[in-house]
């Protein structure tokens, strides 16, 4: 691909640790070029009067009453644990001491 949005697809594949066939390189190069073209179009939009936002619509937290509730009994909480001892899940040792 050539032009203002040319892509070194081999470099991109190397960064992503992908092995691409010649056909995949050709297809993905075109797709990435299309994506860059869309970003170029978005950069042309005047957003100077638009306030930044994290969501497309207002988001409000919905809180429940802060009250204590009973938790799971240890037997129920550990019923699917592959190994357990003294109400704890046993896991393989990962740090040598």
Q: Which tokens in the block code for residue 35?
A: 């994506």
Per-residue pLDDT reduced to its tens digit, 30-68: 899 899 999 999 999 999 998 888 888 888 888 889 999
Report residue 5's pLDDT band, with 50, 70 and 90 as the boundaries. Answer: low
What's the pTM? 0.43
> Could you give the CA distance from residue 88 to residue 67 in angstroms, rounded to a whole number?
26
- Bridge partners of 84, per DSSP, are 89
d(CA 21, CA 19): 7
Give the residues across from 88 on adjacent strands. Answer: 85
- What's the rounded Cα separation, in Å, for the pair 38 and 31? 11
């Amino acid at each position: 691909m050539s032009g203002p949005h040319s892509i070194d697809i081999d470099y991109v594949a190397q960064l992503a640790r992908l092995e691409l066939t010649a056909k995949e390189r050709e297809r993905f190069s075109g797709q990435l070029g299309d994506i860059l073209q869309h970003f170029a179009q978005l950069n042309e939009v005047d957003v100077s009067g638009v306030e930044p936002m994290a969501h497309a619509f207002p988001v409000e937290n919905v809180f429940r009453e802060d009250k204590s509730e009973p938790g799971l009994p240890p037997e129920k909480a550990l019923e699917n644990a592959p190994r357990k001892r003294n109400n704890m899940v046993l896991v393989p040792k990962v740090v040598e001491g």
